[in-house]
Structure 1
Amino acid sequence: MSSPARTEQHRHGLRERKKARTRRSIQEHAMRLFVEQGYDNTTIEQIAEAAEVSPSTFFRYFPTKEDVVIQDDYDPMIASAFLAQPASLTPLAAMRAAVRQVFAEVFPEDEETILRRIQLVWSIPSLRARQVDGQIDTIAMLRRAIAERSGRPADDFRVHVLAGAVVGAWVAAIERWVESDGQEPLVGLMDRVLVLLEEGLPL
């Protein structure tokens, strides 16, 4: 017989998976509608109807229409995987391992939707501005993770520079991926840019 704690953990896991499926469904239907009728011409009500959820459910997952394009769960997943890597790894080696782990677990199912989302973000000025805000948030999150792993304070300038360098390298990888229309594997590009940072970016 399962213990109460294990049963509750199982229920929690089921709830989280259901939430992830709903979130993915909303984003997939949103992206389809944006492609079919344009971002500006698509309403939240249309997205909710296509995803078979209520507008109030939409807002529980995404505060605005912009968020349905911008938001994803990758950053916190990578940060968590980064902190779980062996202490013997350097910060960049641990980051490479974390990226490979997270992408192997969840990226194949989301690849097409993510590509379309990024293409849309880069084509609409308001979304590009929100993306910059998101990158600043990602740098702050990585600063905290790097500081925790290294034992340095989060305001250590070297920690800040490393977090900024990683995010900047990721932007370059994503840009190359979009330019290739998804033909160059993103996980390979993400790994390559971190290798270049490890090598001191020789030219």
Structure 2
Amino acid sequence: MVTLRTLRTRARILDAALDLFERQGYDATTVNQIADTAGVTSMTFFRHFATKDAVLVTDPYDPLIAEAVGAQPTALSPLERTRRGLLAALGDITPTEDATARRRVALVAQYPSLRAAVSVGTGATQDAIVERLVADGVDPLDAAIAVSACLAATTAALLAWGSAPVDVTLADLVRRALALLAPAGATP
């Protein structure tokens, strides 16, 4: 069970890491510096984030996204269920989460070495959504293809967002990306 204390500690570590990455660069920042700045031990850091790059590319939203996809009507195609589920999950992003995500994305965009970490994070999201679709009777290959298409569009929007004007939200770009995958006549 996730406690409020756990969430606060994770948020402190994330804020400390982002501040240090922005001030002195990702490569020059160590896990020990992040832990010290956050007022935790290195061991506590690693309880929350498996690696330094995980601070930038992991989030606690995979179960929520999978749930949003699972809540879509099973009569829809796997692609449309995934697309609509991702759009539904966007409604749960708070302005604070949006601002933090923008900082994370801007840093990832600066460091090409972090692109592999983005793929790992996306893989975890994909696994959660595919598992949910398969549990509802969708063929595993069909689920994987549908989810891959939607997450590729979402990732492209996410990476473009780091350099978008400040008044453009992540939700704006994700909606635009997923609209391109909508069947003819479907609501964007």
Q: TM-score range by the shorter chain?
A: 0.7 to 0.9
- What is the rounded CA distance, in whole Å, between the counterparts of 1:124 and 1:61 in structure 2? 22
- What is the rounded CA distance, in whole Å, between the counterparts of 1:20 and 1:103 in structure 2? 20
Aligned to 1:152: 138
Aligned to 2:29: 42
1:177 corresponds to which of 146, 161, 164 = 161
- What is the rounded CA distance, in whole Å, between the counterparts of 1:75 and 1:182 in structure 2? 26
Aligned to 2:111: 124
Cα 1:58/1:99, change in 2 over 3 Å: same
Post-superposition CA distance 1:105-150 (Å, at most 9, x none): 344222222112112112223311221233333333332222223x
Aligned to 1:7: none
- Total equivalences in the alignment: 184
- What is the rounded CA distance, in whole Å, between the counterparts of 1:188 and 1:75 in structure 2? 20
Post-superposition CA distance 1:131-186 (Å, at most 9, x none): 1233333333332222223x1231x3x32221111011102221332231443221
Helix, strand or coil at the partner of 1:105: coil
Structure 2: which 5+ residue stretches go unaligned?
A: none
Q: Is residue 102 of structure 1 aligned with residue 89 of structure 2?
A: yes
Post-superposition CA distance 1:180-203 (Å, at most 9, x none): 144322113222322221136xxx
- What is the rounded CA distance, in whole Å, between the counterparts of 1:176 and 1:40 in structure 2? 22
Displacement of 1:26 in angstroms is 0.8
TM-score, scaled relative to structure 2: 0.83
- What is the rounded CA distance, in whole Å, between the counterparts of 2:35 and 2:133 in structure 1? 38
Aligned to 1:3: none
Contact 1:169 1:194 in 2 (8 A): yes
Q: Which amino acid aligns with 2:19?
A: R
- What is the rounded CA distance, in whole Å, between the counterparts of 1:98 and 1:70 in structure 2? 21
- What is the rounded CA distance, in whole Å, between the counterparts of 1:181 and 1:32 in structure 2? 21
RMSD, aligned α-carbons: 2.4
- More RCO (CA 8 Å, sep 6+): 2
* Greater Cα radius of gyration, structure 1 or 2: 1
Q: Is residue 81 of structure 1 aligned with residue 65 of structure 2?
A: no
Q: Is residue 27 of structure 1 aligned with residue 14 of structure 2?
A: yes
Q: Which amino acid aligns with 2:116?
A: A
More helix by share: 1
TM-score, scaled relative to structure 1: 0.77
